[in-house]
Homo-oligomer: A and B are copies of this chain.
């Protein structure tokens, strides 16, 4: 059973992922490049190579776990967290831990062997966004969970492993991720003083200055953030205030799909298909019910953070929280604006 353990000093929860545990001697040596790709378990026709599907977009006359689908969601074969069981929060001396309960799902974005989400059609990306929303709504019903994290690892050095087939991941957790909590607290503090959403103010300032603006299209902007941590770090934000990604209506999903495709295509074309991660930052579950989160509808603003993995100078950043970005975000934005796709 995996465990969730709390750092007693910082208060950060960490997953000790026993399901993926390797023996200590298997970590030997420097990080290597990925092994050759095996036959892909995520292509149409290989359904038996994955655990049974949780969700699929497929014609009604096709049976589950067979061909004919357009998009599939399956549990991870090596889940970081387990779906069955109780949290059993407990102490161990001064330490806090709980069972590693949660969901860990793989969203297979296409039945074709396409590696980069940038190469999916607008329509297919829109279906992927629909799927994210459907899965979050479903998992929110489970009272053990506080948050659903949608993220993507593209490319070996972004953590994608040896399988290239484009997919996203969803992790539902019984705790809120530290970074999300910090954002919520920071946004609330700004709101308390200014009585305005800090993200809305950022959208306004970026639209006015245009220095870090990559794209302004159909209700969304893509910017490089002012205090970028990484070269070509990109945030996609809805221009209209909304704390909750799940509340995105059908038209806006189509618009977001278009924006995402343009941004990912510019990254792919301009930077030679770099590895990247993206993470959707949205409001936690059941935010209305607790006093702490009661203002969140006004002070939080969902967005997507895209982090290309182009530098390795990130060693001491982990240890200090001090990021050094070797490319001014204004230069990155200008470069990406000019990439023709």
Binding site for B on A (CB under 8 A): 3, 5-18, 20-25, 27-31, 80, 93-95, 149, 151, 153, 155-159, 169, 171, 173, 177-180, 182-183, 186-187, 190, 198-199, 201-202, 205, 208-209, 225-232, 270-275, 277-279, 281, 305, 307-316, 318-329, 331-332, 334-335
Q: In the complex, are the beta carbons of A10 and B324 less than 8 A apart?
A: no
Q: Smallest distance from the beta carbon of A12 to chain B beta carbons, Å?
A: 6
Name the residue on B nearest A19 (C-beta): B326
In angstroms, Cα B231 to Cα A58, docked, is 41
The answer to whether A24 and B156 touch across the interface, beta carbons within 8 angstroms, is: no
A272 to B8, Cβ gap below 8 A? no
Contact yes or no, A186 B10, CB < 8 A: yes
User: Given A28-B272, A201-B94, are A151 and B320 also a contact pair (CB < 8 Å)?
Assistant: yes
Copies of the protein in its oligomer: 2
> In chain B, what residue has the closest Cβ to A31?
B157
CB <8 Å contact, B279 and A319: yes
B contact residues around A18 at 8 Å (CB): 328
| Contact of A329 (CB < 8 Å), options: B15, B16, B23, B318 | B16
Question: CB within 8 A of A277: which of B12, B182, B319?
Answer: B319
Assembly CA distance A321 to B10 (angstroms): 11
Chain B residue at smallest Cβ distance from A24: B335
**In the complex where A159-B313, A271-B27 touch, is A173 in contact with B322 (Cβ < 8 A)?**
yes
- Looking at A3, A16, A278, the one whose CB has the most chain B CB atoms below 10 A away is A16
Closest B residue to A211 by CB, please name it.
Answer: B92
**Chain B CB within 10 Å — which of A14, A18, A229, A231 has the most?**
A14
Contact check, B151 vs A323: say whether CB atoms are below 8 A apart.
no
Q: Are A198 and B9 in contact (CB under 8 A)?
A: yes
The complex places the Cα of A71 from the Cα of B178 at a distance, in Å, of: 41
CA A182 to CA B320, docked complex, whole Å: 10
- Return A193 CB to nearest CB of chain B, in Å: 11
Docked pose: A16 CA to B324 CA in angstroms: 6
